């Protein structure tokens, strides 16, 4: 039944392989961050990520997923998620969300970040910062909460605290992750009446809020992939893959395991090593 599908609880050994996948994703992110600037095409960024993943002996998880044609999703301005890399040339002030997944020995890592290119509108920077802050609030709730619903509560509270009337996208949400990219349970970015499953060691979850500067309503373009805001407002997307271990959380796609960002929430990360 909906919301009651079987959760894949990972062993320590499996989480350690997922950490390797997570670090490949982190390396791909770093390389794309270095390459991203006005004048570059989104296809060039895709090639940068593909090179890093291939050199690591890993596999790009998006390529071929339900027919998806690229290594990255690169979503620009009013594009929220699932933008397909191509000959689009990035421009000053663009809001660029980069999403990347990699597989190592059958185990997945998945993460996304947003950058605002130079000549940024400060309101776009604030949007990206609020989205990142909401993601970390959600991740902190995995450490401090009892049930998965705590994540959506924390994200919604964080967005409300930003106080600028951002839209929280509802059609696209976080997910369990492990031997497949998308697994139960759903990880909502907003409050519901459902408290959700109990948070337990061995759960691995992708936490990925998407915020807009306007309406939360979405539509899919003719390419059947690119998701845009209905009102044309700009959007940001941040994501990390997180493992819950016996002693706490470990952010598998963050090089420092999430230590720095979670310290601000009073959370100490607990690598499952």
Interacting residues with Co ion (CB under 5 A): 110, 206
Angstrom CA distances, 263 to 136, 159, 267, stand at 10, 19, 5
- Report residue 34 CA to chain centroid gap: 19
By CB under 6 A, tell whether 46 contacts ligand MF3: no
Contact 71, 50 (CB under 8 A): yes
Phi, psi values for residue 58, rounded to 5°: -100, 175
> Which partner in ligand MF3, Co ion, none is near 68 (CB below 5 to 8 A by kind)?
ligand MF3
Rounded Cα–Cα distance for residues 155 and 174 (Å): 12
Site for ligand MF3 in 224-243 (CB under 6 A): 239
**Minimum distance between the CB of residue 259 and ligand MF3, rounded to whole angstroms?**
23
Q: Quick one: 179 exposed, middle or buried, by C-beta within 10 A (0-12, 13-18, 19+)?
A: middle
Residue 191: Cβ within 10 Å count? 15
Nearer to ligand MF3, 65 or 223 (CB): 65
By CB under 6 A, tell whether 78 contacts ligand MF3: no
**Minimum distance between the CB of residue 258 and ligand MF3, rounded to whole angstroms?**
17
By CB under 6 A, tell whether 73 contacts ligand MF3: yes
By CB under 6 A, tell whether 9 contacts ligand MF3: no
By CB under 6 A, tell whether 190 contacts ligand MF3: no
Nearer to ligand MF3, 151 or 248 (CB): 151
Q: In what order do the strands lie in the sheet with 167-168?
A: 167-168, 210-212, 235-237
Query: Residues in the site for ligand MF3, rule: CB under 6 A?
Result: 62, 65-66, 68, 73, 82, 99, 101, 110, 206, 208, 239
């Amino acid at each position: 039944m909906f919301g009651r599908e079987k959760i894949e609880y990972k062993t320590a050994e499996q989480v350690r392989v997922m950490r390797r996948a997570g670090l490949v994703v982190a390396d791909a992110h770093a390389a794309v961050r270095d390459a991203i600037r006005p004048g570059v095409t989104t296809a060039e960024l895709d090639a940068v990520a593909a090179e890093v993943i291939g050199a690591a002996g890993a596999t790009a998880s998006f390529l071929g997923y339900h027919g998806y044609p690229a290594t990255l999703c690169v979503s620009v301005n009013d594009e929220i998620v699932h933008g397909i890399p191509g000959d689009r040339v990035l421009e000053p002030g663009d809001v660029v969300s980069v999403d990347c997944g990699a597989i190592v020995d059958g185990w997945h890592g998945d993460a996304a970040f947003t950058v605002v290119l130079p000549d940024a509108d400060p309101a776009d920077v604030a949007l990206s910062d609020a989205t990142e802050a909401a993601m970390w609030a959600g991740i902190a709730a995995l450490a401090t909460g009892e049930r998965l619903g705590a994540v959506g509560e924390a994200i919604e509270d964080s967005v409300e605290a930003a106080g600028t009337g951002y839209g929280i996208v509802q059609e696209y949400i976080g997910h369990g992750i492990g031997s497949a990219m998308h697994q139960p349970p759903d990880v909502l970015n907003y409050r519901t009446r459902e408290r959700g499953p109990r948070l337990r060691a061995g759960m691995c979850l992708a936490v990925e809020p998407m915020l807009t500067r306007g309406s939360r309503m979405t539509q899919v373009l003719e390419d059947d992939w690119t998701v845009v805001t209905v009102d044309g407002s700009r959007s940001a997307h941040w994501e990390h893959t997180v493992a819950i271990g016996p002693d706490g959380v470990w952010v598998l796609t963050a090089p420092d395991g999430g230590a720095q960002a979670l310290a601000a929430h009073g959370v100490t990360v607990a690598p499952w090593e």
